[in-house]
Structure 1
Amino acid sequence: MVESIWEASNDEYMLQPLTDEIVKKAEELFNVTLPNSYIAILKQQNGGQPICNAHPSPVPTVWGESFVIVEHIKGIGAGNGILENDYYIKEWELPEGLILFNGDGHTWLAFDYRNATSAPPIVYVDVDLEQIIQIADSFEEFLKNLYLENEEFDFEGIEVKVYSKQEFEKFIQEDNVDELTYAIPDLAQGDVDLKWFGNQLLTLSNYHDRYVRSWVAESIWNSLTHRLDDEILHSLIENFKNDVDSDVRMFAGLILEKMNYTFEQLKEDVYNGERVSLAFQDKLYHVIEDSNQWHLADYETDTQQSFNSADELLEKSRIDGKSLQEGWSRIKKAY
């Protein structure tokens, strides 16, 4: 039994339990053999936050003089799993042959299959600096070298920004593409004036730079579909549908899928053991299957409702005093 590397939490990178069929599908898709050590940790938990959050680096990185931060490890699946790899390779113009298992767009960790079909080395990729640095000879070595970096370490060289309305509007006025690509996802995931931000994103959905338009579309799909008003969402979707960039057009469909997510789809996902995140007003709830029990977790209050079957959860769990089906018209799919 492999010792668990995972933090005891449920986050957006934790996918449905891994099966041999899912592994086979991924290996056939990429035409590679995935490392046994990677599959072993995913059979314990299919993606998520590791207990140890750092790995040594042979050269300085934006994270520090001698390490990179490992905030998550992607599992095998769609959404926040490695099956979305091709999209990110194209979006960030990365070399073919990398399979990304950690990253946020500007920095990545990846299996490097450019010169191999099995036993790949592990590389750190900095898109902005155009760096690809090998940090481990194998994923097994990568796991052995993980360590816990003090959360209060000095991010020398990293400017942690909190963007104001005035700054963001100035970036638009000055046509500052670099700052916009940082600020859009940052604001989308933060506590922001949603009416103001929605109107800014509507303006940017017609922006001349495709990377900015893509960040707008992806940020709405990833973080804002359940938070923005339907009126502004439909206006954004119409712009995305007519975009010349195929990736932006793709997000129009993905956003509509979230908006039109039905209770019947929820039932199907729950029966399949998939993790589903729901939003009601400003609160998030997560439907999770673990150890043959089904849970509706409320992370804001650190509580959960637990049931012995999927049917029992769907019938007896409550949000705002109503069953999921009774309150479905006010519940949205979040992630």
Structure 2
Amino acid sequence: MNFNDLWENKMDALDSFDYETIAIVEEKLQLKLPADYVNLMKIQNGGYLRKDTFKMKDEEITVEELYGISANEEKGILTTIEMREEWELPEDIILLSGDGHTWVFLDYRKNHVCPSVSYIDLELEIDHVLATNFTDFIDGLYEDDSLEVIEFESEEVYTEEEFERIVEEADSPFALTDGVLYFTEVDCVMAWLVTQVNRIMDIDNEESEFVLPEVLYYLLNRISEIDLNDEVREALDLLGHKVKEHKIIEVRKYYKRIKEIIEW
């Protein structure tokens, strides 16, 4: 099993467990945990992943975290019990990661002894086997390098008052993205710009899945180059909370980068 640089950090891991905890978990789930999963959780009991991308056919899916082992039904893989009922998921599964609409899980539907790892998208009605076992799944994870810096230039010039109005009206995807890009190119109060991006994160329309990741890309490329004062850190921390809980996967991918910038 390849777990080099697998985890983003240790802060989000659950407390360590013992064999009694495993017995409780297996009894509640009525399924036996695969040894390779248990062995990985002994090294680190879940958390956010640095290698968070998996190739599925011609697409890439994001696996933000792996759930750890805990006897608490509100933590780790035992949340499967509530989630199976809430989201009408199959019974013979143990959730490893997910956000409500998409899930990665140990799949016991065809084999109660050696589960595969599968992916389900409830909205798109996708139910696909990712790997025949947990080890192959972990070995297939890799770090997405699509967030590498690419140079762009804005096409328009904006005043702060104009851009605040653009954000308020939220009806021009071009002006939203181009405006953020413009203010990353000029001298401006960075806390003000982060605040505008915070407001943009609240926009929910058909263009959001394209606009919001692009706005974050421009902002974070710029902000990673400067020294942060307390005001910027506070605004950035608020942004991080919004990004972490956002319903759009491509937005949530930026949470780790925001944390890195704040902690640097």
2:49 corresponding residue in structure 1: 50
Matched, 1:93 2:94: no
Q: Which residue of 93, 100, 113 corresponds with 1:118?
A: 113
Matched, 1:16 2:4: no
Contact 1:120–1:137 (8 Å) recurs in 2: yes
The percent identity for this pair of structures is: 32
1:258 corresponding residue in structure 2: none
Q: Which residue of 178, 201, 221 corresponds with 1:162?
A: 201
* Runs of 5+ unmatched residues, structure 2: 149-172, 174-199, 206-238, 244-259
Q: Secondary structure at the match of 1:190?
A: helix
Q: Which has the higher contact order (CA 8 A, sep 6+)?
A: 2
1:230-275 CA-to-partner distances (Å, cap 9, x unmatched) read: xxxxxxxxxxxxxxxxxxxxxxxxxxxxxxxxxxxxxxxxxxxxxx
Matched, 1:75 2:68: yes
State the Cα distance separating 1:301 from its structure 2 match.
Answer: 7.2
Contact 1:122–1:142 (8 Å) recurs in 2: yes
CA 1:300–1:136: 2 relative to 1, 3 Å: closer
Contact 1:31–1:117 (8 Å) recurs in 2: no
CA 1:147–1:301: 2 relative to 1, 3 Å: closer
What amino acid is aligned across from residue 92 of structure 1 in structure 2?
Answer: W
* Runs of 5+ unmatched residues, structure 1: 59-64, 154-158, 168-186, 192-298, 304-335
2:30 corresponding residue in structure 1: 31
Q: Secondary structure at the match of 2:47?
A: coil
CA 1:136–1:190: 2 relative to 1, 3 Å: same
1:157-202 CA-to-partner distances (Å, cap 9, x unmatched) read: xx9x83349x7xxxxxxxxxxxxxxxxxxx9x529xxxxxxxxxxx
Paired residues, what number?
A: 166
1:140 corresponding residue in structure 2: 135
What amino acid is aligned across from residue 146 of structure 1 in structure 2?
Answer: L
Structure 2 distance, partners of 1:52, 1:302, is 20
Contact 1:49–1:72 (8 Å) recurs in 2: yes
Contact 2:49–2:64 (8 Å) recurs in 1: yes
**Structure 1 segments of 4 or more deviating over 6 A?**
none
Contact 2:93–2:107 (8 Å) recurs in 1: yes
State the Cα distance separating 1:302 from its structure 2 match.
Answer: 4.7
Q: Secondary structure at the match of 1:42?
A: helix
CA 1:302–1:128: 2 relative to 1, 3 Å: same
What amino acid is aligned across from residue 7 of structure 2 in structure 1?
Answer: W
Structure 2 distance, partners of 1:145, 1:2, is 9
Higher strand share: 1
What is the alpha-carbon root mean square deviation over aligned residues? 3.5
Structure 2 distance, partners of 1:149, 1:138, is 22
What amino acid is aligned across from residue 52 of structure 1 in structure 2?
Answer: K
1:129 corresponding residue in structure 2: 124
Contact 1:2–1:41 (8 Å) recurs in 2: no
Q: Secondary structure at the match of 1:87?
A: helix
Structure 1 distance, partners of 2:123, 2:46, is 26
Structure 1 distance, partners of 2:126, 2:3, is 32
Taking structure 2 as the reference length, the TM-score comes to: 0.55
State the Cα distance separating 1:2 from its structure 2 match.
Answer: 7.6
